[in-house]
Amino acid sequence: MLFAGMLLALQAFSQTGQGSAKITPHKTIAANTMPADKSKMLCKAWVLDSVEQFGVAHTPNAKEKNDGVTFMADGTFFTTSEGVAGTGTWKGNGNPYINTSVGTPEVKKMFKIMVLSDSKLVLEYQTEDLIRIHYTYIPKQ
């Protein structure tokens, strides 16, 4: 009887977890709805300055030393991540999020804009196992 109760509780917990995931779905955005002033700040070449995980920041390692991203006003971007170049598309969604898609097959990721100014861009990415990584960029000189 105790085992059956635990099984029901586990099932209810897992359903609750699935239900809460549906509260903030990833949705396709028809148009870039980022305000023009923010878009203007974002759309330039950025180089990776630091990566923070579990509250510990480090400077780019040997693989990351030339990493960066360039957002274009037409909704495309160019990136180098761990030394590997790529291109893709991006859309702002009116909230502090950037939705990206890269490659074939298409890989979609969502980044939260933590800081956006003329001199600094901090993007947060949450992995599938809920680890949050902060990427800090500075403008390319």
What are the Cα distances from residue 47, in Å, to 36, 106, 125? 22, 24, 17
The structural domains of the chain, ordered by start, are: 33-139 (2.40.128.280)
CA 105 remoteness from chain centre: 18
Nearest by Cα to 90 from 130, 138, 106: 106
What pLDDT score does 94 carry? 65
pTM over 0.85: no
> Which tens digits make up the pLDDT trace of 80-136?
989 988 888 888 866 677 888 777 677 888 889 999 999 999 999 999 999 999 999
Alpha-carbon torsion, ordered 120, 123, 124, 128, to 10 deg:
-160
Q: Is the pLDDT higher at 31 or at 90?
A: 90
What pLDDT score does 21 carry? 31
